[in-house]
Amino acid sequence: MALKLFNTLSRSVQEFIPLDPSGKNVGLYCCGPTVYDFAHIGNWRTFVFGDLVRRTLEFKGHAVTHVMNITDVEDKIIKRVRETKTSLREFTGKYEAAFLEDLDRLNCRKPTVMPRATEHIKEIISLIEKLIQRGVAYQAADGSVYFSIEKYRGCGCAYGRLLKLNFDELRAGERVKSDEYAKESAADFALWKARVPEDGDIFWPGPWGEGRPGWHIECSAMSLKVLGDSFDLHLGGEDLIFPHHEDEIAQSEGATGKPFVKYWLHGAFLLVEGKKMSKSLGNFFTLRDLLAKGFTGREIRYLLLTAHYRETFNFTLEGLQGAHTALARIDECVGKLREIIGTPASGTAQSDSQPAVPEAGAPTDLLARFAAALDDDLNISAAWAAVFEWVRETNKRIAENSLNASDAASALAAWEKVDSVLGIGTKSGTEIPAEILALAEARTAAKKAKDFKRADAIRDELKAKGWAIEDTPKGPKLKKI
């Protein structure tokens, strides 16, 4: 089955084919946080979406190099450093640590590489030098360096790949120095910003004099360094399409002459309580605000994962209550499966009876339906529908007493595979993995068949995997060594 994704570059749903000829390795770059404040729930929607893409690729057997940069120098940061009278590193270090904590609370897998912009000034400078050599960047009178859209287009390159721009409105040579600007003010943008008094002591020596990098060039320099000139996937919130991602393409392709990214993925906007988030409306939430209200990272992750990534999503506190109920249903079902596996099969001596053809709700069906839903441009609603139908069906089979320990073990293993993508886990973090439970079950079966050699071999295998098994009057008990 092939994964299909909506590529902003082609404005269509396309089959995902990695650049790696073996089809195994995938390079994924997600624009990371600008560490000037705690990330809000809108930011987290994008990061959880990035985590879903990564986990889906891993579920499908790819080896993913997941890069997420830390933007630790740009306009907003410098302003805040000035206001708070701290040092750059002290200021950004605090928010970077908070970001990593929050990432963990939402059970996002830690990116493979998290490069900091301030640690890549050398790479940034050499990338700018390359753009000057290629004639698509120039130094202005104040020592700043700009990317020339006119020269870039003159070389036959397209600017405006991810969205349509009206070039009649663009006036050649006009410049924009700030990191963020609107489509209407598309103009030559700053790659290197000459030092000004407001920058304080935040500057680096460069071939054009003291200064600091522009925001856009940071991502190009770090992604090219870690993932190479061309890589598979680049992801971010839809608000980054212009100018940030458009500029990243121009800078990268302008320097290397090679296609930069094969698939561009963008997550849609998040509304909170039906409105655009704003501090004055009282609907602006950081992750920490929501945790302080008593919600868990797990509930928040679940809710963020209920909407398709290309749909505007209305995040509500009522939705979080619903998340609590939905998760409780999954927990109850998974808990019952664990109970069945952990209970000696006294009433169901024929636990080795042949399983019937998989019916709706059977583990194989869950996995197939779940995988097919993901393949369809990450159709998360269909994926959750498969999960909840499986919960219903499994509960029914448990109630009918028609699920033996080995059925339960394979159901649990299927759920764990599904959860390797959803990442919601179970309520307690100290649960016994399905693989271990299945081994324990196999040992019980071996003992029952008086195959003590095999039972002992399984005990050793469990030990090698870090688990001790102890026979008690209530049946075998597993303990982490």
Binding site for Zn ion (CB under 5 A): 31, 219
The nearest distance, CB 180 to Zn ion, in angstroms, is 12
Q: Which residue has the tokens 């060594």?
A: 481
**What's the residue count for the chain?**
481
> Which one, 117 or 333, has the nearer CB to Zn ion?
117
> Which one, 125 or 219, has the nearer CB to Zn ion?
219
The nearest distance, CB 120 to Zn ion, in angstroms, is 13
Structure tokens at 434: 């399905």
Pairing of strands 25-30, 231-237: parallel
Q: Give strand pairing partners of 305.
A: none
The nearest distance, CB 31 to Zn ion, in angstroms, is 3
Q: Check the CA dihedral 432-433-436-437 and report its sign.
A: positive
> Which one, 263 or 295, has the nearer CB to Zn ion?
263
> Which one, 31 or 98, has the nearer CB to Zn ion?
31
Euclidean distance between CA atoms 468 and 432, whole angstroms: 12
Euclidean distance between CA atoms 192 and 124, whole angstroms: 9
**221 and 260 Cβ atoms separated by less than 8 Å:** no
The nearest distance, CB 219 to Zn ion, in angstroms, is 3
> Which one, 30 or 373, has the nearer CB to Zn ion?
30
Q: Give strand pairing partners of 113.
A: 67
User: CB-based contacts of 190: which residues, under 8 Å, 6+ apart?
Assistant: 144, 145, 146, 147, 175, 176, 177, 178, 179, 214
> Which one, 116 or 459, has the nearer CB to Zn ion?
116
DSSP summary character for residue 87:
-
The nearest distance, CB 145 to Zn ion, in angstroms, is 19
The nearest distance, CB 464 to Zn ion, in angstroms, is 44
> Which one, 31 or 77, has the nearer CB to Zn ion?
31
The nearest distance, CB 244 to Zn ion, in angstroms, is 5
Q: Which residue has the tokens 């749903």?
A: 13
DSSP summary character for residue 116:
B
Based on the number of CB atoms within 10 Å of its own CB, is 357 exposed (0-12), middle (13-18) or buried (19 or more)? exposed
End-to-end CA, the chain: 40
